[in-house]
Structure 1
Amino acid sequence: MDEKHHYGVVDNLDKLFLVLPEHILKALEEKENSDELIEIVMDLGRSPEARFTNGFSILIESPVERSDIEFTLGRVGMFTRDNRAGIERTLHRISCIRNRVGNVVGLTMRVGRAVYGTIDIVRDIIVSGKNILFLGPPGVGKTTKLREVARVLSDEFQKRVIVVDTSNEIAGDGDIPHPAIGRARRMQVPSPERQHDVMIEAVENHMPEVIIVDEIGREEEARACRTIAERGVQLIATAHGNSLRNLLLNPTLTDLVGGIQSVILSDEESRRRGTQKAVLERKAIPTFDIVVELRDRDTLGIYRNTAEAVDVILRNYDPRPEVRKKTKDGSIEVLKEIEEFETVEEVYSLSDWNQPKYPEGKMLRVFLFAVSRNYMERAITQLKATLEVVEDINDADIVLTLKSRYRKKTNRLREAENRGMPVHVIRSNTYSQVLRFVKDLFGLSDSYEKSGETGLIEAEKAARQVLRESEPIELTPRNAFVRRLQHKIAERYNLFSQSIGEEPFRRVTIYPRNLDDT
């Protein structure tokens, strides 16, 4: 992404300033950085403060008096049960602090801004139709992005969008929603504990294509999210939690990303994995297909497949999100965190492959069904392929057969497929067809001489390097057939492997054994 994006900001600061006592307003107007203003704080008996993105400033030395607080209270909307109020047709939020008998003794006036263009950094993901969860600490712009999401999907893509608005946080105070959400409809939530009811009501009564919710924080809301997702409605939300790993360990919200359960493995399976018999695994399909971590206002990490990322975390590894960053000139960069993979590519050379030194028993094994063994052995010799023909299908990693035989689906072939064994088909029993199969299997196409690398050899060498250095390695993007074989190679070395990324860049990552579990 190298195009530049221009952002427009609507903050309605003049309407917020109208609720301030005159002497406090005058001091604030003298500040030259009002565009960086985040909130104004008025606490009884203390000097009023203005808080900015890079610090705070005392507005006046004299303390706030009760009359100052009463002045502001008389100019804002009614406070709800969560001690929040607003200014009609704006996005500003006024929160109060009460004493033991319920009297207001402090006010926090948060500046609400409609920022147009803020989702350009994730626009491709927003329009994918998938369920998306935004995570991040307070102040990084989660709610701001939700407003822009609502406007883009409702106006530009003409989708039926409903915003479930707790405390009028997204669309502002009053009965008429702020223009920042476009043509999206807004359903107000009378109190935070009713949010899950309004979410379900939105689906049942108003036929939305997209539902947008801010601050999923209760177990009931997590269940409502799963119900909405199961009904085929796109769900875009934010949740309490700074990262995917943090959310996964939150017992209240873990179901949003699939949940965790303890599983007892068989002796054979625990030996194969190199782990203890009791392990943690993902409990269900995640409610949200994609998780976006907002690391700061300009940087985010994207997990395009939540299920895969959670599985990697539960193996005690760090999943590698796609990192995007908005630069100072407004352009967007995609940062690829795979430098170690690039180093691996430089190590492997064609001369290395011509004289393989693989450990005995690490060859890839093929079972031939109605295919000439002589042709196969001749192709293996010519290409110096690390491939071995076996007599028993139970000893094989892959099966090669003819198209005519595959159509008949004999018991042997059906049994092999049921066991998850790759079955490859060639049109005729000729040497040229067998040779082409071996070339394709090892990536020995016309571009091989240029790349100096093959899918299976790359996996073999990466597995041995992972064993030596105990560091994960990402392999080159390959097709689904080659990836399945790469997984088998990792399994033979008793290593954990995972496919990551989207086609045509989907690739295998090989991880070391978890030393704590061996």
Structure 2
Amino acid sequence: MPQPVLELFPTSLRLVLERMPPVAKDNLEEIRIRENRPLEIGYGSRYSFLREDGSLTEQFREAYVPTKEHCRALLERITNHSIYAMEEELRRGYVTVSGGHRIGLVGRAVLDRGAVSHLRDIAGFNVRIARERPGFGAQVLPGLLDYQARTLRHTLVVSAPQQGKTTLIRDLARCISTGQWHHSAARGWGSRKVGIIDERSEIAACQNGVPSFDLGPRCDVLDACPKAEGMMMMLRSMSPEVLVVDEIGRPEDAEAIREAIHAGVRVLATAHASDLADVLARPVLARLAAEGVFSAYVFLSKREERVEHRIVSGKEAGQALSPYAARAFGALPRDAPGEEASLTGASVRPDACEPARSKSRPMPVIRSPNGACGEGGGGG
């Protein structure tokens, strides 16, 4: 367990965590602290409760119970004793600490004009442990190469939470930045300039703007910046050859990705979904698939401590699109009678699809590198 994370906890909690058996400590993924409820950990795709002596149990009544004082002390350490200075983080529901470890927060939401202003009465924490896995990218990268262009294909990495998406794209960014393509046909390609938009400060784990993780010699990071705006800033200022971005899914993210690929930049992104069907059932991702934006999809799944991957071509994703098109693009409500069956079975041209009618936050003005300007959210 990383020492900087351990030092965040009050003494009594830290002692319990220090006594964990090696099998849990070495594979620790999550620590869940809930006020007046059992202390829980996640490790190697399993979970257990912790007794006061650090031993593992599946019986929650035997577990150590953090108190209100523990939670208050933990919050003060996470926020450096200044909750008001972390107001934006509290509004988003998480704080990223040194080392790229993200701490989710739950409590009472305070609303301002119908939107969440911040959290108060925080009584639950989920400490997610960030880890480097050098060599993870070497297993995947050879299947993502564009041999004609001598670079990476436009790639979307997909999985459910905690399956290794962020860990994978971090290592892929390092490989590309150092020119380690891990394929004999790619010898002599050289490295590429990589730009990372790290909205949640998890990919690079920057401290005062400097990455904590090894991302290679030709990598630039825009830390704690919204994805869509950050991609445009990176294109204008740093001329990347590969853009890396985590957890896309909003219309403005898709528009920024279109701008990037039209500027000749390769895109490596992640998204939450369990499989291809889930990807195509999400309106924004389905539209990108219909347009053929991504030429490779990487699906991750975890078995015990091992992460497995499967690569699907963009062509295969496009062929699978039609059963989901009507629902994904808002052509008909899911319970519409009659015509839905025939429409969902028909092929769909990208230029014939209407954008989804789902609500989204206001779109930023996006300016392309050539100076043209337009509102986000339109077709690419």
The TM-score, its normalising length taken from structure 2, stands at 0.67
**Aligned partners of 1:294 and 1:300 also within 8 Å:** yes
Q: Which amino acid aligns with 2:7?
A: L
Q: Which runs of 4+ in 1 moved over 4 A?
A: none
Note the C-alpha offset of 1:185: 1.2
Whole-angstrom distance in 1 between the partners of 2:100 and 2:126: 14
Q: CA–CA distance in 2 between the matches of 1:51 and 1:35?
A: 11
Q: CA deviation at 1:57?
A: 2.0
State the partner residue of 1:72.
Answer: 74
Please report how far the alpha carbon of residue 186 of structure 1 lies from its aligned counterpart in structure 2 after TM superposition.
0.9
Which string of whole-angstrom CA distances, capped at 9 and with x for unpartnered residues, describes residues 270-298 of structure 1?
xxxxxxxxxxxxxx3x1111111113353
Partner of 2:294: 288
1:42 aligns with 2:27: no
Letter of the aligned partner of 2:311 in structure 1? I
Q: C-alpha separation between the residues in 1 aligned to 2:284 and 2:155?
A: 18
Q: Deviations over 1:313-358 (max 9, x none)?
A: 5379xxxxxxxxxxxxxxxxxxxxxxxxxxxxxxxxxxxxxxxxxx
Deviation at 1:217, TM superposition (A): 1.6
User: 1:91 is matched by which residue type in structure 2?
Assistant: G
Note the aligned Cα RMSD (angstroms). 2.2
Partner of 1:298: helix, strand, or coil? strand
- Structure label with greater radius of gyration: 1
- Structure 2 counterpart of 1:255: 287
Quickly say closer, same or farther: Cα 1:189–1:26, change in 2 above 3 A. Answer: closer
Distance 2:231 2:126 in 1: 28
1: CA distance, partners of 2:157 / 2:93? 25
* AA matched with 1:311: Q
- Alignment partner of 1:311 out of 301, 319, 332: 319
Q: Which residue of 2 aligns with 1:96?
A: 105
1:21 aligned onto 2:2: no
2: CA distance between counterparts of 1:70 and 1:96? 12
2:198 to 146, 165, 186: 165
| d(CA) in 2 for partners of 1:106, 1:226 | 38
CA–CA distance in 2 between the matches of 1:211 and 1:167?
A: 16
Q: Aligned runs of 1:180-259 on 2, under 5 Å?
A: 180-183=214-217, 184-190=219-225, 194-258=226-290
Gaps (5+ residues) in structure 1? 1-11, 259-283, 317-518
* Counterparts of 2:105 and 2:191, CA distance in 1: 38
Choose between structure 1 and 2 for higher RCO, CA contacts under 8 A separated by at least 6 residues: 2
Aligned position for 2:211:
177
SS at match of 1:180: coil
Which string of whole-angstrom CA distances, capped at 9 and with x for unpartnered residues, describes residues 96-137 of structure 1?
Answer: 112245231111111110111011211213443210111111
The answer to whether the Cα contact below 8 Å between 1:189 and 1:198 also exists between their aligned partners in 2 is no
SS of the equivalent of 1:138 reads coil
- The total of aligned residue pairs comes to 275
Tell me what 1:58 maps to. 50
Deviations 1:52-89 (A, max 9, x none): 2222223434532222122222322546131221222x
CA shift digits 1:335-387 (9 cap, x unpaired): xxxxxxxxxxxxxxxxxxxxxxxxxxxxxxxxxxxxxxxxxxxxxxxxxxxxx
Secondary structure, in 3 states, of the residue corresponding to 1:182? coil
Distance apart, 1:200 and its partner CA: 1.5
What is the aligned partner in structure 1 of residue 348 from structure 2?
none
The separation in 2 between residues aligned to 1:100 and 1:221, in whole angstroms, is 26
SS at match of 2:230: helix
Instruction: Spell out, residue by residue over 1:153-182, the C-alpha distance to the aligned partner (whole angstroms, 9 max, x if none).
Output: 112343211110011121115322123323
The answer on whether the counterparts of 1:69 and 1:105 sit within 8 Å (CA) in structure 2 is yes
- Whether the aligned pair in 1 keeps the contact of 2:40 and 2:47 (CA below 8 Å) is no
Q: Which amino acid aligns with 2:95?
A: A
1:36–1:291 distance in 2 versus 1, CA, 3 Å: same
TM-score of the superposition, structure 1-length normalised? 0.50
Paired position in structure 2 for 1:328: none
1:39-438 mapped onto 2 (5 Å cutoff): 39-53=30-44, 54-60=46-52, 61-77=63-79, 78=86, 80=89, 81-88=91-98, 90-100=99-109, 102-128=120-146, 129-156=152-179, 157-175=190-208, 176-183=210-217, 184-190=219-225, 194-258=226-290, 284=291, 286-296=292-302, 297-304=306-313, 306-312=314-320, 314=322
Verify the 8 A CA contact 1:161 1:209 in the aligned structure 2: yes
The separation in 1 between residues aligned to 2:320 and 2:162, in whole angstroms, is: 29
Return 5+ residue gaps in structure 2 as ranges. Answer: 53-62, 80-85, 111-119, 147-151, 180-189, 325-380
Q: Distance in 2 between matches of 1:127 and 1:249?
A: 27
Structure 1 range deviating more: 12-21 or 160-169: 12-21
